[in-house]
Amino acid sequence: MRLNLKAKQENTYDAIVVGSGISGGWAAKELTEKGLKTLMLERGRQVEHIKDYPTHSTPHWELPYNNQVPPEELKHYEKQNRTGYTIRQSSKHWWVKDTEHPYTEVKRFDWMRGYHVGGRSIMWGRQSYRLSEMDFEANAKEGIAVDWPIRYNDIAPWYDYVERHIGVNGINEGLPQLPDGQFLPAMEYNCVEKEIKKRIESKFNDRMMTMGRSANLTANHKGRTQCQYRNMCMQGCPYSAYFSTQSSTLPPAMATGNLTLRPDSIVTEILYDPETQKATGVRIMDAETREFKEYYAKIVFLNASTVGSTWILLNSTEHFSDGMGNASGELGHNMMDHHLGVGAWGIFEGFEDVYHHGRRPNGIYIPRFRNMGGATNQPNFIRGYGYQGGASRNGWKKSVAELSIGEDLKKEVNEPGPWEFGMGGFGEWLPYHENKMALTTDVLDKFGLPTVVFDVAAFENEYNMRDDMADSAAEILEAAGLKNVQKWKDDPNPGLGIHEMGTARMGRDPKTSVLNKWNQVHEVQNVFVTDGACMTSAACQNPSLTYMALTARAANHAVEELKKGNL
């Protein structure tokens, strides 16, 4: 008995954070800085900053096979390779093997993820935009799904707070649909983008172009070095020049002395005491030894990613037959992503002597211009989309057919090709109850654990919006004088935006939502979910910055409530 008590004491913390990615790192930083002894559990392997980024400074020619992964090896990444840009020699180690971590697709669903300390904060696209008041109001105004339980003013100070810490570059434009922020100096347009911006803004009253807002440092910041314009971010940055858990949130959390990080720890369920109606901790499977262990705490933060956190709640069935926090029946439902793979491209004639130096890990942004009142309202879809893109001058002028062979080839490849400009849309996906994930024991992963079944689709609003995204992109480029303008429009494959959201949504009513306005599970108030699962609507902005702000806000609330004795 004494031994058990001692063991329990050793496994007891003030707080447990499940997951070490973008939001988990923030939870750990905030909770430890406020004095809580915190255990961070990560299901994947340890990754130490820089030391464990095997290709962070590998030049292209040292990557085998022109950076391609052989077909035999690709068989392990059949789904992870659907992006077309992630399974390379330079970055394949950041993505799970589908053969080890299977899932089921009622309809195609591209679930892109890596299991390691830092999670997707290592591979993310770094675009950082605030949601606006119109995003938080939209569901209520239009009678879609449920109302967000917060408004822009609730989150604005937390956007300020996280932007100041992580370092986001950008330009304040004073737009209602894209709030200003606490920005480092913006990255520069190239000459062609400057000209195209001028032309777009002279031709359209409702559209403008701004520089992409990204979590890359344009100045030295909090002990981190500014961007060196290598554009090798996904290989890991030895300068700490972009935000990741390792570069930005883990160091201050560690410095408090309050953090214990335990990798290889797969949380299988949340422990619950029916008497107090609170969670008491979590059960984990050690990924190395396959042994189960229990850890205890006063509060639990779920930051295991949208699908991961939802999996844990759905799998916590000891006291909840349909999963913890699922009294509403909404847990696992309302899955959203951003739909992309639609846009336009063209040739820009001119600026033939202009070239560039460096590889800018950022592009231009055309903020939403649809359904913002008056003439911007559309007859056949609601909400909107933004475009991301840029002008570039890649490679040489001639095609493989046109190039000479012999000595002349070496000269011809040094004649740069034309300037091109391309942009692709990021569209808002509405929350539909029927878009869902569930667990199955028919297919088990390599640990013998239940796996996920996805049943997610796009509907009329998304398809109509996509038509407009392609047409408007071409219209903008033609108005800007580009030549040979061509549209593209792929299928809206859910998951491919790698912005899965919404499966444990926030709301005002426990009957129709999983989380309250502080990201607490309605029925188990000392469990907080602050990753993408909490999103009540998707908006069209890249969402990670919002997860960070909501996490910091929820952590602050959790500590206040603990102090008051309410948790």
Partner 1 sequence: MNKSSNTLIDRKEALKRVSYLLGGAISAPTVLGFLNGCTASTASAKGFSPEQMNFLGKVSDVIIPKTDTPGASEAGVPKFIDDMIFIFWNEEGRADFIAKMVAFEKKAASELGKPFTEASAEEQQNFVQKEHDTVFGGNVDWDAPRPFIWMMKELTITGFFSTEAGMTQVLQYKLVPGYWDGCLTFEEAGGKVWANP
By CB under 8 A, is residue 322 in contact with partner 1? no
Q: How many CB atoms lie within 10 A of CB 222?
A: 14
Phi and psi dihedrals of 89, rounded to 5?
A: -55, -35
By CB under 8 A, is residue 341 in contact with partner 1? no
Count of positions (residues) in the chain: 567
| Interstrand relation of 259-262 and 38-41 (parallel, antiparallel or unpaired) | parallel
By CB under 8 A, is residue 84 in contact with partner 1? no
| 462 class by beta-carbon count within 10 Å (0-12 exposed, 13-18 middle, 19+ buried) | buried
By CB under 8 A, is residue 564 in contact with partner 1? no
Q: Tell which one of 11, 12, 46, 67 touches partner 1 (CB under 8 A).
A: 67
Q: Tell which one of 71, 84, 374, 379 touches partner 1 (CB under 8 A).
A: 71
Residue partners of 164: CB distance under 8 A and separation at least 6: 182
Q: Could you please report the per-residue DSSP string of 271-299?
A: EEETTTTEEEEEEEEETTT--EEEEE-SE
Cα separation of 465 and 428, whole Å?
A: 9
Q: Tell which one of 289, 321, 399, 441 touches partner 1 (CB under 8 A).
A: 399
Nearer to partner 1, 29 or 487 (CB): 487
Nearer to partner 1, 44 or 170 (CB): 170
**246 and 224 Cβ atoms separated by less than 8 Å:** no
Cα separation of 506 and 543, whole Å?
A: 15
**What residues between 459 and 518 interact with partner 1 by CB under 8 A?**
470-471, 474-475, 478-479, 485-489
Nearer to partner 1, 9 or 414 (CB): 414
What is the closest distance, in whole angstroms, from the C-beta atom of residue 341 to partner 1 in the complex?
12
What is the closest distance, in whole angstroms, from the C-beta atom of residue 355 to partner 1 in the complex?
4
Nearer to partner 1, 204 or 447 (CB): 204
Cα separation of 142 and 125, whole Å?
A: 31
Asked whether the CA dihedral 145, 150, 368, 126 is positive or negative, the reply is negative
Stretch that binds partner 1, among 29-37, 142-150, 369-377, 399-407 (CB under 8 A): 399-407
Stretch that binds partner 1, among 65-73, 286-294, 315-323, 365-373 (CB under 8 A): 65-73
**What residues between 356 and 375 interact with partner 1 by CB under 8 A?**
356-360
Nearer to partner 1, 144 or 413 (CB): 413
CA 552 to chain centre: 16
Q: Rounded to the nearest 10 degrees, what angle do helices 191-203 and 460-479 cross at? A: 110
| Token pair of 11 as six digits | 């496994």
Cα separation of 120 and 117, whole Å?
A: 9
What is the closest distance, in whole angstroms, from the C-beta atom of residue 527 to partner 1 in the complex?
44
By CB under 8 A, is residue 350 in contact with partner 1? no
Helix (H, G, I), strand (E, B) or coil at 261: strand
By CB under 8 A, is residue 204 in contact with partner 1? no
Cα separation of 94 and 237, whole Å?
A: 14
Nearer to partner 1, 190 or 328 (CB): 190
By CB under 8 A, is residue 5 in contact with partner 1? no
What is the closest distance, in whole angstroms, from the C-beta atom of residue 184 to partner 1 in the complex?
14
Nearer to partner 1, 416 or 450 (CB): 416
Nearer to partner 1, 53 or 454 (CB): 53
Report in angstroms the alpha-carbon separations of 225 from 117, 182, 235, 358.
22, 18, 17, 16
Stretch that binds partner 1, among 136-144, 159-167, 387-395, 557-565 (CB under 8 A): 387-395
- Number of residues this chain uses to bind partner 1 (CB under 8 A): 65
Cα separation of 268 and 450, whole Å?
A: 10
**What residues between 175 and 194 interact with partner 1 by CB under 8 A?**
187-191, 193-194
Q: Could you please report the per-residue DSSP string of 171-192?
A: ----BTTB----EEPPPPPPHH
| Interstrand relation of 385-392 and 342-348 (parallel, antiparallel or unpaired) | unpaired
Nearer to partner 1, 66 or 441 (CB): 66
Q: Tell which one of 177, 316, 371, 392 touches partner 1 (CB under 8 A).
A: 392
Nearer to partner 1, 57 or 277 (CB): 57
Nearer to partner 1, 72 or 442 (CB): 72
Binding site for partner 1 (CB under 8 A): 57, 59-61, 64-68, 70-72, 187-191, 193-194, 227-230, 344-345, 353-360, 392-396, 398-403, 405-407, 409-410, 413-417, 470-471, 474-475, 478-479, 485-489
